[in-house]
Amino acid sequence: MRFNRHNDRTIEDFGEQWTKYSDNEGYYGSLELLSDILSPFLKLEEIKGCRVADIGSGTGRIVNMLLEAGADHIIAVEPSAAFEVLCLNIQRRERVTCLKITGDKLPAYGDLDYVISVGVLHHIPDPRPVVDAAFKALRPGGHFFVWLYGKEGNRLYLALLKPLRVLTKRLPHPILASLVEVIYWPLVLYIKFCHRAPLPLRGYMLSILERMSPEKRRLIIYDQLNPSYAKFYTKQEAEKLLLDAKFQNVRLHHRHGYSWTVIGTKPLFE
Ligand SMILES: C[S@@+](CC[C@H](N)C(=O)[O-])C[C@H]1O[C@@H](n2cnc3c(N)ncnc32)[C@H](O)[C@@H]1O
């Protein structure tokens, strides 16, 4: 029960967040960023013609990227009030089925080539039912691709973030948005220093954050401070998430030295 309450609150938080920050403009919503997220396990060409589910679609950023990459059909799952934003933002409605459900309720299609979940499972206190649903929805030989916050490489960041989040996850939107403004300018300075020194999170700052528009950098700060629940996964925890659900050939990549990309395959024979 405690876990459900936590997830309900987080879903509410995201409903509000994505209603305030609803667009996916620029690098933030680009095919170039999708390629970076999927690398080194998947190439954009591998998505072409596939049936894919995206769990936790938010404003439809990943859905539109997948459409652009040529996915044949996408099941977009979003349980929060962002569902309305998702439906408005989707570019090719005839190729997308939108479901306002939590990930554990993903129908057991059994014929999907990929299930993708970017930045979602770390906001769910008990993600196992979602991983099980992904397993059932895939065809034998289909792949589950997950991106998670990582613990390794984030020690200093987490020492600052964790105490701050105790307060910020409770703040109403206008106050949190003002705090984001306060953090924004030191962050811009930090990115500049990253060019000169091997500072923590340098890889992420220079490869990803620097390429985002000022508006999207603000959203990313907000996104770190707003949700009620956020877990930072160790490599072992991230691997276990898929192994426990019977995925095979589970592989991990420490993306830009701060997060975990995980991919597993549903066995051909169970
Ligand atoms: C950080 S956002 C990521 C959105 C999108 N994947 C992206 O990368 O732009 C996390 C999303 O997961 C959704 N979410 C939270 N709990 C969920 C659950 N149990 N099942 C499915 N989605 C969930 C939230 O509502 C939110 O939209």
Task: Encode pLDDT of 206-218 as tens digits.
Answer: 999 999 999 999 9
Report the distance separating Cα 17 and Cα 222, nearest Å. 8
Q: How far is the CA of 207 from the centre of ligand 1 (A)?
A: 23
pLDDT at 270 over 90: no
Nearest to 18 by CA among 69, 56, 65, 73: 56
The pLDDT assigned to 3 comes to: 53
- Examine the pLDDT at 109 and tell me if it is beyond 90: yes
pLDDT at 86 over 60: yes
Is the model's pLDDT at 237 over the cut of 90?
A: yes
In tens, the pLDDT along 127-155 reads: 999 999 999 999 999 999 999 999 999 99
CA 90 to ligand 1 centroid distance, Å: 16
What is the spatial distance between Cα 227 and Cα 229, in angstroms, rounded to a whole number?
Answer: 6
The reported pTM is 0.96
Mutate to test the pocket of ligand 1, among 12, 22, 33, 120 (most ligand atoms within 8 A of CB): 120
For the chain, give the percent of residues with pLDDT over 90. 97
| Percent of the chain residues past pLDDT 70, beyond the cut | 99
**Would you give the end-to-end CA distance of the chain in angstroms?**
32
For residue 17 and ligand 1, the question of a CB distance below 6 A is answered with: no
Q: What is the mean pLDDT of residues 27-51?
A: 98
In this prediction, residues 231-246 reach a mean pLDDT of: 98
Task: Classify 164 in phi/psi space as left (phi over 0), alpha (psi -120 to 50) or beta.
Answer: alpha
Mean pLDDT, all residues of the chain? 96
Per-residue pLDDT for 1 more than 50? no
Residue 27 has pLDDT above 50, yes or no: yes
Give bridge partners of residue 114 from the DSSP assignment: 52, 143
Residue having the nearest C-alpha atom to atom 11 of ligand 1: 56
